[in-house]
């Protein structure tokens, strides 16, 4: 009998759901046994429900093709066959909040890619290399939900992963003012060029809700648990513009930073390449060995050359140089649907398992 934990994917037919399924193929700890989506897909095999919508470059795993898709709204039924679920459903924010808590109340942990619970005070929002200690707030959440093993944990927005890890690595130099412009891939909207032909050779200077998330979510990562809730950090202040660009996968960020304590360029690079966290110490299955790479060439990082660094779980940084208005400026790149979405959530689940928060039911 399999010793792997049994996993369900909510929103399994969508772009992020498909990424979960691809990343979990042959996972050493987790086995996908249940797939759920909207009532439109329920009752069909996964292969039928996805039809021509498979968006990954690797083929659909054989093991999921004949799984009959369940209705996400049938919470007890879906939860009964799994140890925990990944959530990537696209519903209204209130519906997602309610349904994720409903799963938690069936004593099924929920590791979510959605934004709905990112500011729920007792829900941890975690990048495992940055703030793994925020999982400690789960005990207060369980008290509120009245559960013993069920809870919701989330990962942050994809846009921040190209610069928040970098600023974290530079924490001791006390960055206090940050200006970032993100150049975001179309897969971040769940789209390919086939679904969104208007994006070919185009730029759209607006992504709904993205600038506020890009400015505020890093502060929550750097916050502390106080009185059973996460209190966000007050600094650095971040201002951001988010631009949709004709790229399939990979969010690039061009960033300016002011520091209270003046570092040299060599010190900054040294902090980046030596930055490690619990995933590296514990050698979690999806952890990148090198979390942040620094590229010396003036024309890097480039999306096509660097987006898959460390299987899409690493962050690439380049063009670090002194600035005439700010202290330094740099360019960062990360994979938005791997590190920024499904891969980031899988790494959270691996850490939650390693720390005993997720166990077989
Ligand atoms: N794409 C990214 O990089 C990214 C990054 C971070 C966060 N997110 C968030 O992750 C979520 C999923 O994004 P996505 O890009 O994967 O979206 P998507 O491709 O549109 O997939 C949406 C999924 O939700 C299901 N769904 C839609 N309406 C539903 C309903 N009323 N009841 C139950 N299930 C329903 C769909 O099932 P059917 O196939 O049956 O319709 C599908 O499985 C969204 O909340 C999005 O904001 C996405």
Torsion of CA 247, 220, 165, 343, to 10 degrees: -60
CA distance 273 to 41: 45
The answer, yes or no, to whether any atom of ligand 1 lies below 6 A from the CB of 72, is yes
Residue 117 falls in the annotated catalytic set: no
Q: Which of 68, 90, 312, 342 to mutate to test the pocket of ligand 1 (most atoms within 8 A of CB)?
A: 90
Number of Cβ within 10 Å of residue 179's Cβ equals 18
**SS3 category, 292:** strand
Q: 194-238 pLDDT, tens per residue?
A: 999 999 999 999 999 999 999 999 999 999 999 999 999 999 999
- Which long-range CB contacts under 8 A does 98-102 form with residues at least 24 apart? 99/10, 99/72, 99/73, 99/75, 100/152, 101/145, 101/152, 102/75
Architecture category of domain 5-155+342-355 in CATH: 3-Layer(aba) Sandwich (3.40)
The answer, yes or no, to whether any atom of ligand 1 lies below 6 A from the CB of 18, is no
Please give the distance, rounded to the nearest whole angstrom, from the Cα atom of residue 287 to the centre of ligand 1: 25
The answer, yes or no, to whether any atom of ligand 1 lies below 6 A from the CB of 337, is yes
Look at the chain and count its residues. 361
Per the structure block, which two tokens stand in for 174? 């006390």
Residue nearest to atom 24 of ligand 1 (CA): 89
Per the structure block, which two tokens stand in for 204? 């759209």
- CA dihedral for 221, 222, 226, 231, sign (positive or negative): negative
| Average pLDDT rounded to a whole number, residues 11-39 | 97
Residues 6+ apart with CB under 8 A from 55: 15, 18, 187, 192
The answer, yes or no, to whether any atom of ligand 1 lies below 6 A from the CB of 113, is yes
Residue 348 falls in the annotated catalytic set: no
Q: Answer yes or no: is pLDDT of 274 > 90.
A: yes
Q: Is the pTM of this model over 0.85?
A: yes
Give residue 2's pLDDT. Answer: 57
CA distance 317 to 130: 17
- The helix (run of H) or strand (run of E) holding residue 216 is helix 210-221
Q: Does domain 159-334 have CATH number 3.40.50.12780?
A: no
Q: Any idea where the domains of the chain sit in the sequence?
A: 5-155+342-355, 159-334
The CB-side HSE value for 146 (13 A sphere, CA atoms) comes to 3
Whether 110 contacts 104, CB under 8 Å: yes
- For 240-276, letters b (16+ CB in 10 Å) and e give bbbebbbbbbbbbbbbbbbbeeebeeeebbebbeebb
| Average pLDDT rounded to a whole number, residues 31-51 | 98
The answer, yes or no, to whether any atom of ligand 1 lies below 6 A from the CB of 90, is yes
From 117, 134, 251, 335, the catalytic residue = 251
Please give the distance, rounded to the nearest whole angstrom, from the Cα atom of residue 257 to the centre of ligand 1: 34
Per the structure block, which two tokens stand in for 321? 């140089």
Please give the distance, rounded to the nearest whole angstrom, from the Cα atom of residue 206 to the centre of ligand 1: 20
CA distance 128 to 285: 13
Q: Answer yes or no: is pLDDT of 1 > 80.
A: no
In the chain, % of residues over pLDDT 90: 99
Q: 128-173 pLDDT, tens per residue?
A: 999 999 999 999 999 999 999 999 999 999 999 999 999 999 999 9
């Amino acid at each position: 009998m399999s010793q792997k934990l049994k996993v369900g994917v909510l929103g399994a037919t969508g772009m992020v759901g498909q990424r979960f399924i691809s990343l979990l193929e042959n996972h050493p700890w987790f086995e996908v046994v249940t797939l759920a989506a909207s009532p439109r897909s329920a009752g069909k095999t996964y292969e039928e429900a996805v039809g021509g919508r498979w968006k990954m470059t690797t083929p659909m795993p054989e093991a999921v093709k004949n799984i009959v898709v369940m209705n996400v709204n049938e919470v007890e039924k879906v939860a009964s066959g799994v140890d925990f679920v990944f959530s990537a459903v696209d519903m209204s924010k209130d519906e997602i909040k309610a349904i994720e808590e409903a799963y938690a109340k069936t004593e099924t942990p929920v590791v979510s890619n959605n934004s709905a619970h990112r500011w729920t005070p007792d829900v941890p929002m975690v990048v495992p290399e940055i703030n793994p200690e925020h999982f400690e707030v789960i005990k207060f959440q369980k008290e509120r939900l009245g559960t013993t093993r069920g809870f919701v944990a989330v990962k942050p927005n994809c846009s921040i992963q190209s610069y928040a890890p970098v600023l974290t690595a530079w924490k001791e130099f006390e960055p206090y003012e940050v200006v970032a412009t993100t150049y975001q891939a179309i897969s971040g909207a769940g789209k390919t060029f086939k679904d969104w032909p208007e994006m070919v050779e185009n730029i759209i200077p607006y992504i709904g809700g993205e600038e506020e998330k890009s400015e505020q979510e890093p502060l929550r990562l750097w916050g502390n648990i106080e009185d059973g809730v996460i209190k966000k950090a007050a600094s650095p202040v971040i201002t951001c513009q988010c631009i949709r660009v004709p790229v399939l996968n990979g969010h690039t960020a061009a960033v300016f930073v002011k520091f209270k304590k003046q570092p040299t360029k060599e010190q900054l690079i040294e902090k980046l390449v030596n930055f490690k966290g619990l995933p590296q110490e514990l050698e979690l299955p999806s952890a990148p060995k090198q979390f942040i790479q620094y590229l010396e060439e003036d024309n890097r990082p480039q999306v096509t050359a660097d987006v898959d660094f460390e299987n899409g779980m690493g962050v690439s940084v380049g063009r670090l140089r002194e600035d005439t208005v700010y202290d330094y400026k740099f360019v960062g790149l990360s994979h938005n649907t791997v590190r920024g979405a499904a891969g980031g959530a899988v790494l959270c689940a691996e850490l939650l398992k390693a720390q005993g928060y997720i166990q077989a039911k």
